[in-house]
Amino acid sequence: MKSNENFAHWYRRAIHAFGAVFLVYYLIPSEGLLNTIKITATRSIITIFGIIEIMRIKKIINLFGSRVYENERVASYFYFGIGVTILLIFFPQQI
């Protein structure tokens, strides 16, 4: 049992680190068709996350790594996704 808990702990850590992948968004140029694709992809991904979250709360699917207290409420990854979506679409930055 301890081995399973340790794996779940590191799995959650890896998922948190993977959250930094949104920085790739800034490497894609914000001109013409590419900008439209960026915005559409961002909205599509958060929509898919929303559908997965609804299915998880209704117990249609079970996501490995979620904590017990997250079973009946919206998980933190969805809040993070909403925040990143708002940040990327409404507050664009150039690098």
pLDDT at 94: 65
pLDDT beyond 90 at 90: no
Task: Please tell me the predicted confidence (pLDDT) of residue 95.
Answer: 58
* In a domain? residue 79: yes
**Alpha carbons 49 and 59: distance in angstroms, whole number:** 15
Q: Which domain holds residue 36?
A: 2-90
Q: Per residue, what are the HEC states of 23-49?
A: HHHHHCCCCHHHHHHHHHHHHHHHHHH
Indicate whether 36 belongs to any domain: yes
Total domains in the fold of the chain:
1
Alpha-carbon gap, residue 56 to 64, rounded angstroms: 11
| Distance from C-alpha of 8 to C-alpha of 5, rounded to nearest angstrom | 5
Q: Does 48 reside within a domain?
A: yes
Total-model pTM: 0.74
pLDDT tens profile 45-81: 899 989 999 998 998 988 777 777 777 888 888 888 8
Tell me if 42 is assigned to some domain.
Answer: yes
Q: Assess contact for 49 and 78: CB atoms under 8 A.
A: yes
